[in-house]
Structure 1
Amino acid sequence: MDVHLRRLRAFVTVAEELHFTRAAAKLFVAQQSLSKQIADLESEVGTPLFERTSRRVDLTPAGEVFLAAAREALALIDRGVEEARNVGRGRHATLRVGFVAGAALELTTHILGRFTDRFPHTRVELREFGLADPTAGLAAAETDVAFIRLPCTTQGLVVHPLFTEPCVVGVSTAHPLSGRDRVRVEDLVDQPIAIGRTDDAVWRAFWTLGHRPGAERPAHLVETTSQSEEMEVVAAGMACCLTPAAALRYSPHPGIRFLRIEDHPGSVVAVAHRDHARGPLVSGFVEAAAAVREREQRTVRAIEDAGLS
């Protein structure tokens, strides 16, 4: 089936406006011409995409499904055209890569290296995001692809997991639990917990023990704005913090001990992108990440076993 891009754009505009007159004005075409484009598209697809009455226009269930595919196709074409024009003008295409603290740990440089080897004329812009945005810029479309840590709110995102990392709890060296090598969740439920300031309820629940079935919100949370601030809060004995096991390697602190949590699920590190942003560069980055994960199995196993001995 050969669906014309003009008909796809006409369909998306009508779907967004749900009004043929407004959609025609937005597209600078006659309403009769727009109606014919939609009719031709419905004929090509083989099913009605809109329900029309004298008073309103609505998408059919088939139209709802087709709208998602149409948006994705148009976004891919538009991004490809933009990248081709940039290269043709002697400009480098740009991929904006967001990440939260730690990115993909020891896999990060391998993934970036593999991507730049395959796309040597692409400029990679790296940007770190703080605790306030677990999506590393994807939610606000500030980045094209990102290393994120789950669980967090992923509505509208496509997520490609890389590995699952154990969680540990950081406590002050003066804390009563600091003499132990491991703890259970029940040992922590009455403790003050440090948590980054964010509106992401899924993220907050996981890192404050609130994700458990029937769990109540901890009695005392200490809000922080950065990872370094969180470490100082813990070292001062003001709170403990749940954190990935990589903290043992990446965030050692003389005033903090990190203890294994025996019955807390791990945190998944993933590459993610917006649902309608699957251009060649984003796809290439996802492929590079998957290839590195398969190639570096020993490193992945070491990450997934960290903090468990």
Structure 2
Amino acid sequence: MNLSQLNYFKKLAEVLHYTRAAQELFITQPTLSGAISSLEKELGAPLFERNGRSVMLTPYGEVFYEHVCLALRAIDDGVAAVSARSSASFGTVNLGTTFTTQDHYLPTLIKSFEEAFDKRVVVKVSQGFTNYLTEALHRGTLDVAFCGKRDNETDIEYFPVKYCELALYVREDHPLAQEESVPFATLNDVELHTYRRGTPIGNRVSKMLEEADVIGANLNYDDDVSMGSFLSYNGGNAGALMLDSLGAQLFSNLRQVRVEGIPDRFYTVYLACHKKHVHSRAVSDFIDFVKAYPGNDPAVPEAE
């Protein structure tokens, strides 16, 4: 067993497709297949099983993946500890983000950062939901993330950077489309869709609806884009209680209606990083840059 095999296994476990994994690793598919077969033979257990043209982890593979992530992260921490002593910042920042920063905020931030560091640091961006991004921070597959704040995450440092308002969105042909604002009670007259429980935003919204005696809402969505897409192509009495982020901006036939009683600055977006992981000089510089970034919303409260 060697480091290359572990890196090959990790990539295949995340991509779950031999051809794509080999392409991303810049190796041939037979090389990848041989490395995985050798690893399985050494461990005495199958790590993957075929699923059509793709593969999926076996129970053995799932257990091994968690330990491989920790082992590779420990090696990365050692490299980072050495590179942190260097006077020059260079390398890669693995950044995860939710849709809520992908309007003007994130592209402008990354451009400003790369210009400030003369493009010596490359920021690799991946998309995900808050729960997934937080777990990736724990595993060490991400260095930093822009996401919501989960409860009881004592190993994660959260720094507020921006906020989003929560509003009712309807199609332009909906009876409420011409209203500037409506009371909470009106939501009971709408086929209401919003975020699912189990996510930071979903938990906040469902609690607010319960306190306002709004019943019958469909709590089905993880993200704004899926919700906005559903609403854009479904007429009738449908409405969505969602953040004023990319998901609302993508669809020109949606109209925003303010709901009286919803607090301003409803949802805070945070820069999140793991307190116990050693960060490379590049990652540390990125964190410091974000915290001082003039594009952050100065009115964001320190705690929700």
Q: Tell me the TM-score range normalised by the shorter chain.
A: 0.5 to 0.7
Partner of 1:206: 204
- Equivalent residue for 1:158? 157
CA–CA distance in 1 between the matches of 2:242 and 2:252?
14
Q: 1:110-125 alignment to 2 at 5 Å?
A: 110-116=108-114, 117-118=116-117, 120-125=119-124
Report if the CA contact (8 A) 1:168-1:260 is conserved. yes
Q: Aligned equivalents of 2:292 and 2:125: distance in 1?
A: 20
Deviation at 1:252, TM superposition (A): 3.1
Q: CA deviation at 1:190?
A: 5.7
Which AA in structure 1 matches 2:230? V
Deviation of 1:189 after TM superposition, in Å, equals 4.7
**Partner AA of 2:282 in structure 1:** L
CA–CA distance in 1 between the matches of 2:96 and 2:125?
A: 6
Describe the SS at the equivalent of 1:231.
Answer: helix
Matched, 1:172 2:149: no
Amino acid at match of 1:99: T
Per the alignment, in what secondary structure is the counterpart of residue 207 of structure 1?
A: helix
Q: Secondary structure at the match of 1:176?
A: coil
Q: C-alpha separation between the residues in 1 aligned to 2:139 and 2:197?
A: 14
Identity %: 16
- Check the 8 A contact 1:97/1:146 in 2, yes or no: yes
Between structure 1 and structure 2, the one with the greater Rg is 1
CA distance in 1: counterparts of 2:138 and 2:94, whole angstroms: 13
- Correspondence 1:232 to 2:229: yes
Q: Give the deviation of 1:113 after TM superposition.
A: 3.0
Q: Partner of 1:250 in structure 2?
A: 249
Paired residue type of 2:293: V
Give the letter for the 1:270 counterpart: Y
Q: Which whole-Å CA distance do the structure 1 matches of 2:150 and 2:94 have between them?
A: 20
**1:276 and 2:273 are equivalent in the alignment:** no
Unmatched tracts of structure 1, length 5 or more: 1-73, 305-309
User: Which residues of 2 match residues 259-274 of structure 1 at below 5 A?
Assistant: 259-265=257-263, 266-274=266-274
Aligned residue for 2:40?
A: none
Give the residue type in structure 1 aligned to 2:201: W
Query: What TM-score, normalized to structure 1?
Result: 0.56
* 8 Å CA contact retained: 2:103, 2:246: no
Q: What residue number does 1:21 align with? A: none
Aligned residues between the structures? 217
Cα 1:152/1:242, change in 2 over 3 Å: farther
The equivalent of 1:96 in structure 2 is 94
Question: What one-letter code is carried by the residue in structure 2 that aligns with 1:234?
Answer: L
How far is 1:214 from its partner? Answer: 4.3
SS of 1:282's equivalent in the other structure is helix
Give the CA deviation at 1:184. Answer: 3.2
Q: Which residue of 2 aligns with 1:194?
A: 193
Q: Does 1:78 align with 2:78?
A: yes
Distance in 2 (alpha carbons) for counterparts of 1:139 and 1:198: 22
Contact 1:136/1:147 (<8 A) preserved = no
Give the partner amino acid of 2:257. Answer: L
Structure 2 length-normalised TM = 0.57
